C-alpha cells in the first residue's frame, strides 16, 4: 500500500483550487463537472489510477443542483482509492463520459442512466441495461414510487 500516494494527489488537486479531503480511507474530491475529464485523465496518467470502479448518482430532492454523480477509482499499484463527486441539475443532468478512458465505464454509465437519468456526453450507447426498452422514468430517483409497476408482459389471469 502506497501511503504517500493519496497525499501527493491531495497536494496536486489542492494546488489546482479543488478541496480534496480524506474520508474513511479514501480521498474524496468534490469538483465541478467541467473539470471531471481533465482530473480523471490526470489521475489515470499521472498517478496510476488505472481501475475504474464505479459510477453512480445520489438523488437529493429539494436541493439544487439535485444530483450528485459519484465516481470511484482504484490504483492497482498504489492500492488506494479516490472518489470524485460532481453535481448536476435536474434540468441538465449531463456529465462527460469516461468511455474514452476506461472501457468498463460503458456498462456502468448505462446503469446510471437507467436508474437516475444522468446522461453521459460521449457515451453513444445508453440503451437500457438493467431495465428494458420502453421503461418509463428512472426508478432510483426519490420521486419514483417504489410500488409502481410497469409489466412488459401482462399478468396471466
Task: Summarize as ranges the residues that interact with another protein (CB under 8 A).
Answer: 1, 23-26, 28, 50-54, 56, 58-59, 70, 72, 74, 76, 79, 81, 83, 102-104, 106-108, 111, 115, 125, 127-134, 139-140, 142, 144, 146, 152-154, 156-157
Cβ closest to another protein, residue 15 vs residue 151: 151
Considering only CA atoms, which of 135, 138, 108 is closest in space to residue 123?
108
Cβ closest to another protein, residue 63 vs residue 121: 63
Question: What is the grid cell recorded at 59?
Answer: 438523488
Considering only CA atoms, which of 108, 80, 86 is closest in space to residue 24?
80
Cβ 64 to another protein, closest distance in Å?
17
Cβ 155 to another protein, closest distance in Å?
10
Considering only CA atoms, which of 72, 14, 121 is closest in space to residue 113?
121
User: Residue 12: phi, psi to the nearest 5?
Assistant: -60, -45
Cβ closest to another protein, residue 12 vs residue 144: 144
Cβ closest to another protein, residue 15 vs residue 136: 136
Considering only CA atoms, which of 79, 76, 128 is closest in space to residue 102?
76
Cβ 36 to another protein, closest distance in Å?
18
Laid out side by side, the sheet with 67-74 consists of 21-23, 26-30, 81-88, 67-74, 51-59
Cβ 141 to another protein, closest distance in Å?
10
Amino acid at each position: 500500500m502506497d501511503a504517500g500516494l493519496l497525499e501527493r494527489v491531495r497536494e496536486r488537486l489542492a494546488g489546482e483550487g479543488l478541496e480534496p479531503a480524506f474520508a474513511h480511507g479514501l480521498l474524496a474530491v468534490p469538483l465541478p463537472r467541467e473539470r471531471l475529464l481533465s482530473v480523471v485523465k490526470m489521475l489515470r496518467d499521472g498517478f496510476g489510477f488505472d481501475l475504474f470502479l464505479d459510477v453512480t448518482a445520489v438523488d437529493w430532492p429539494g436541493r439544487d443542483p439535485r444530483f450528485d454523480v459519484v465516481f470511484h477509482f482504484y490504483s492497482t499499484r498504489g492500492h488506494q482509492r479516490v472518489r470524485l463527486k460532481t453535481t448536476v441539475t435536474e434540468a441538465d443532468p449531463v456529465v462527460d463520459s469516461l468511455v474514452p478512458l476506461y472501457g468498463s465505464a460503458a456498462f456502468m454509465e448505462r446503469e446510471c442512466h437507467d436508474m437516475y437519468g444522468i446522461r453521459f456526453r460521449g457515451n453513444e450507447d445508453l440503451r437500457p441495461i438493467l431495465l428494458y426498452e420502453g421503461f418509463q422514468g428512472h426508478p432510483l430517483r426519490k420521486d419514483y414510487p417504489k410500488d409502481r409497476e410497469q409489466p412488459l408482459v401482462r399478468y396471466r389471469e
